[in-house]
Amino acid sequence: MKKQNVRTISLIVCTFTYLLVGAAVFDALESETEKRRWEALQDAEDMIIRKYNISQEDFKVMETVVLKSESHKAGQQWKFTGAFYYATTVLTTIGYGHSTPSTVGGKLFTMCYAIVGIPLGLVMFQSIGERVNRLSSYVIKAVRTSLRCKRTVASEVDLICVVTTLSSLTIAGGAAAFSRFEGWSYFDSVYYCFITLTTIGFGDMVALQRDNALNRKPEYVMFALIFILFGLAIVAASLNLLVLRFVTMNTEDERRDEAQAMQALQVAVKLEGDVITSNGSILSGYEGHDGQSLNGTNTSSMCSCHCMCLNGNRHKKENHFGRNNDAENQYKLRRSPTHIRHLLPEVVPMQDLNYDYDTQSMHTLADRGTVDSSYMGVDMVDSTTHGSPLRPHKLLKRNVSLLSFRI
């Protein structure tokens, strides 16, 4: 099984295991509190119905009015300032849910706006995160150079430490400001900042929803928007270092496998016999008929003849060599893999060269114009004798495969 498949299955198993663990923990922490709150609300509802002598239907109407008027306590949500705040929550995928469109045109435009805006926002924050990491590496290098450290280049661990510190300072500073303007506790403010910058956006705590702050406190509105945009850029820098490294692992493994397959394909072609190309060069490193390399000890002879066989002459050679089919089949080339056979040149095998038969065959081929008579026995040299012509008794043990190319 491929490494990518194993990693994917492992991630799926780990994710579902993490979900099961989280569900068990949340159940243990929140279920009892939810039950007590529900009982308290039921007691309050019964008390109001008995005290004011109203029916269940009237109480439901009053409840609906209270819930619908909650979003209007902060003032008008769809003026330009409130609309800009809403567009920011859409583009950043925070989605507090404090204000939602009620018209068909507003809902349709929200979908179209999100289709273009969400990818644009992701690319922008990712680019800003890369710039933040580059700036951090320059600062680290400058500081280490001034301190005369041996190693001045910033590593990924250094960048992670810097980005984590920036994220902590952003959340801490934002929590202090929101605690002052909203009247929340500092812990609740930290919770709000974390939920906002991670784009979870539950909507249980939303800034700018008190005392008509959207219209009366423009400086606070500006601070909230800058906090969201700057904080998301810092979070994007963290994701660039941590998450994207694991996301690109599958792509890197696939490219590595492709490179290894191409490398294996280049060395996978094996031919039998001495292979001579049309320009006279020898394809070394291939196995001969006797299972040994061209560079081995038993294959000391080389043929430098320029043999070229066209398509029309091939049938004549096959008819000429067809007199001894057993010998021809014995020295046939080993079949190569199907997917690379088109890469191999056409090879016309010859019979065992013996002194009596093959000398006559070579003369016959020369008479037919297939082999130049000037190469008969002259260019057949032995490397062990430093270029001396091969004698007939040495030709008895040679198996020569003529490599022909189509023109």
Check whether 351 has a pLDDT greater than 50: no
Domain ranges in the chain? 1-53, 73-265
In the chain, pLDDT over 90 holds for what percent of residues?
Answer: 37
| Distance separating alpha carbons of residues 317 and 350, to the nearest angstrom | 9
Strands 347-349 and 400-403: antiparallel
Mean pLDDT over each residue of the chain, to the nearest integer: 74
CA angle at 193 for the pair 189 and 194, rounded to the nearest 5°: 115
| Distance separating alpha carbons of residues 211 and 208, to the nearest angstrom | 8
pTM of the full structure: 0.62
73-265: CATH topology: Helix Hairpins (1.10.287)
Q: Yes or no: say if 333 and 401 are a contact pair by the CB < 8 Å rule.
A: yes
Q: Yes or no: say if 98 and 71 are a contact pair by the CB < 8 Å rule.
A: yes
- Stretch among 109-123, 130-144, 270-284, 392-406 having the lowest mean pLDDT: 392-406
Largest CA distance in the chain: 127
Distances (CA, A) of 248 to 118, 153, 164, 237, 312: 21, 23, 22, 16, 54
For residue range 279-305, list pLDDT tens digits in order: 555 555 444 444 444 444 444 444 444
Q: Which residues of 22-39 are buried (b: 16+ CB within 10 A; e: fewer)?
A: eeeeeeeeeeeeeeeeee
Strands 301-303 and 380-382: antiparallel
- Alpha-helical segments (H) within 53-103: 56-68, 80-91
For residue range 167-195, list pLDDT tens digits in order: 999 999 999 999 999 999 999 999 999 99
Distances (CA, A) of 349 to 9, 83, 137, 305, 344: 51, 82, 65, 15, 14
